[in-house]
Structure 1
């Protein structure tokens, strides 16, 4: 089903697609690459620029040999599907959804708290958006005869570590929870889950398991390292309970991204500052900006404002020479807004505080 092929000169690289510094940020792990904020050309992130987060090297999977098994003690009739079965036997749906790693902005979180934090050293690039096409997970579960007392649904990956993370039945049965087969109109690239991956709308990226080969449906809560030790808020405000070391992360908070380098370098001339804000399962309602900790002004929202996907915005600025900061504060349609401070947690997750984006403006415009 999967191969961990070894080339004559040694192991294959952990990521298949090119990861040029022109468009991607290398975290140094060999597996994880962020999307450069100043290299986002449209609402959708092109496949070659979509961020990569993996726990093991990208597996090479032959679709003709691959199959998906749905089983567990909350399944009436375990079933197995081939790749062609998924394309032909079920309705296909498409949704545009943003995926963000819960550890995005971890390096900045560490700097804010004066500590170095273990984990992938993400800057701001572990977030991207695509149109995903596939089969509703609900349709597959119903075909397997999921029982009324089902509690958790857990996709399991075919990578070396068997990445897996359960979700409650109601989230698995949601209209926009997919087993995706295509990304931005093309079959899934290897690094993004070929031949099939789960897309769990509005939740942390770790829930959207790639390279799925099995889905377990259980009558009881499922505990695995991905929801007891990792992807858990651990700290004074998050006491352990049972095997879980803190508060498991599911839905993502409101966040924002300025489409500039960090730090940015601009000319002293009129600028159109662009960015994106994301509110997990909710919609972005408004975005405000502040220059040099001054008054807040409304940015102009553009394009789509659907739940589960980022919203683009911009504002005009004519900066004077010198050093400046840009601060962004987004609010969603339930009233959640970005805070000025995020309390400490050991693994540096969910850093959605208002950031002061550093900008240096040249003394004079270039000829």
Structure 2
């Protein structure tokens, strides 16, 4: 009796190959995960280019990470990485996201479900980050939603192609190795993967280009020359000792320190800018750029200092600002009794509370600044308009891209950094710094010039003293005194023998206060202590 074999029993079905269940190799799974996340982020960035770059899921998560980072870690980042802290954050985020993408692909070697779940979770994080950002409009959430959808669709699509490729490879006794001999499924996977990679690159670049399409430089150029009716005192030739190693008295815009929370610099046209002044006032004001531009402008040379500046640190710079006296604007609005702080908000949502009594003090000269060092404000330093309040650390005085001012109390509102553990008032402390010689420098024997800078805004510097190796204090020669709201350069000389030496400096302000030698960290309201430098005199 003969046995007849049916066609169905002659071979295993295509989805159950003879060598067991189909699964992706680790490298292919990882590639699928990586390409899917790249496509998701690029798609979200492209949409954000039209609705506002701050809505990009990548940037929104980065900004949220900045907001949620504990204060000690933020202080460490600024101290360690300086103005490169944002680049370090974005690079670290890219690394973490890449690892998660690789993991998503590897754990999805048998089924797309684990990777899909992880993709959805990552997408929801982006949606939540954008939804809670104060600087994204109602359409902003569209960017992370598109990002989530693209990530899931691309992941499942590439995963399906990869599974078909794996099935063909497993079913073939001799898998093809040459490009021309590859099975259709393998060619389709490779072509699709390449297309996704190229598409992600084009979308990401397109989002960046569209997001920066606002021609801020044209708007800056259209402002023209800002001529102050009230001029600042001219900077005398002897205002610094650059030949002896100090920084220049006026800091060029490109060298002016920048410490802020903005991952992307806001790009606002002067013609689109407006300022609302409200709260505890007699009348609300809504001012345009032309409203300020048409007023009598004043000029003031101011040294600005960051509260994160360690003893001897670099986060201090000086510029000549042109703008409208903030006191005049507040007087026009009418400040009600009981008002304690000027609560200002940047276009990117950053907030700052300045003491009203300081802002209203005519001796301080607080400004709504429009210009800096003879030109309209640089974009990264607050164009079109920023606040400058001499004598206060920047975290309570220097709102860039300001768009809202509310007169209120400290109990009612707390600024960005106050809510994170920093002091409320933020007066600048009397400090000094050695610029030359630098730490561990080797200098010739004989007369050694020691130079630096001191500041005590708005009191002014009366004297600076220097000592070497714990010896007697020697009073330094001070450069010309430009303004109590500006720093002051100093220099002195010592006849030193060969070998290692340590130099210290201390400043005394015009009130008679001499800076303390007690070392205190920058938290919560600024560092204190004498700056010291060790160097070697060559025998």
Among 434, 443, 452, the alignment partner of 1:275 is: 452
* Bigger mean CA offset, 125-134 vs 303-312: 303-312
Distance change >3 Å, CA 28–CA 219, structure 1 → 2: closer
Cα distance in 2 between the residues matched to 1:135 and 1:302: 29
Question: What's the counterpart of residue 55 of structure 1?
Answer: 261
Quick check: 1:287 aligned with 2:480?
no
Shift of 1:278: 0.5
TM-score between the two structures when normalised by the length of structure 2: 0.53
* Alignment check: 8 A CA contact 1:4 1:59 kept: no
Cα distance in 2 between the residues matched to 1:54 and 1:29: 10
Among 77, 80, 83, the alignment partner of 2:283 is: 77
Quick check: 1:174 aligned with 2:361?
yes
Question: What's the counterpart of residue 19 of structure 1?
Answer: none
User: Which has more radius of gyration?
Assistant: 2
Shift of 1:86: 0.6
Shift of 1:198: 0.8
1:168-207 pair list within 5 angstroms:
168-175=355-362, 176-207=365-396
Question: What's the counterpart of residue 216 of structure 1?
Answer: 406
Distance change >3 Å, CA 158–CA 210, structure 1 → 2: same
Question: What's the counterpart of residue 66 of structure 1?
Answer: 273
Cα distance in 1 between the residues matched to 2:245 and 2:305: 17
Among 88, 94, 98, the alignment partner of 2:303 is: 98
Cα distance in 2 between the residues matched to 1:354 and 1:70: 41
* Bigger mean CA offset, 316-325 vs 46-55: 316-325
1:312-351 pair list within 5 angstroms:
312-343=489-520, 347=523, 349-351=525-527
* Alignment check: 8 A CA contact 2:433 2:453 kept: yes
What do the CA deviations read for 1:112-161 (whole angstroms, capped 9, x no partner)? xxxxxxxxxxx6101111111101111111222333443321111112xx
Cα distance in 2 between the residues matched to 1:158 and 1:223: 17
1:30 alignment partner, SS class: helix
Cα distance in 1 between the residues matched to 2:53 and 2:400: 19
Question: What's the counterpart of residue 29 of structure 1?
Answer: 85
Shift of 1:199: 0.8
1:102 alignment partner, SS class: coil
Cα distance in 2 between the residues matched to 1:263 and 1:348: 30
Among 350, 373, 377, the alignment partner of 1:163 is: 350
What do the CA deviations read for 1:239-261 (whole angstroms, capped 9, x no partner)? xxxxxxxxx34211111111133
Distance change >3 Å, CA 251–CA 328, structure 1 → 2: same
Answer 1 or 2: which has greater strand percent: 1
Shift of 1:271: 3.6
Question: What's the counterpart of residue 15 of structure 2?
Answer: none
Quick check: 1:145 aligned with 2:352?
no
Distance change >3 Å, CA 313–CA 177, structure 1 → 2: same
* Alignment check: 8 A CA contact 1:158 1:213 kept: yes
Cα distance in 1 between the residues matched to 2:389 and 2:482: 18
Question: What's the counterpart of residue 174 of structure 2?
Answer: none
Cα distance in 2 between the residues matched to 1:186 and 1:330: 33
Q: Which has the higher contact order (CA 8 A, sep 6+)?
A: 1
Quick check: 1:42 aligned with 2:219?
no
- Aligned Cα root-mean-square deviation (Å): 3.0
Quick check: 1:5 aligned with 2:5?
no
Cα distance in 1 between the residues matched to 2:86 and 2:303: 23
Cα distance in 1 between the residues matched to 2:83 and 2:383: 23
Distance change >3 Å, CA 29–CA 98, structure 1 → 2: same
Shift of 1:91: 1.7
Unaligned ranges ≥5, structure 1:
15-24, 109-122, 233-247
Question: What's the counterpart of residue 418 of structure 2?
Answer: 227
Cα distance in 1 between the residues matched to 2:286 and 2:330: 11
* Alignment check: 8 A CA contact 2:282 2:333 kept: yes
Unaligned ranges ≥5, structure 2:
1-49, 64-80, 89-241
How many residue pairs align between the two structures? 311
Distance change >3 Å, CA 192–CA 3, structure 1 → 2: farther
Cα distance in 2 between the residues matched to 1:353 and 1:91: 41
* Bigger mean CA offset, 123-132 vs 221-230: 221-230
* Alignment check: 8 A CA contact 1:283 1:305 kept: no
Shift of 1:100: 0.8
Answer 1 or 2: which has greater helix percent: 2
Cα distance in 2 between the residues matched to 1:61 and 1:133: 19
Distance change >3 Å, CA 3–CA 166, structure 1 → 2: farther
Question: What's the counterpart of residue 354 of structure 1?
Answer: 530
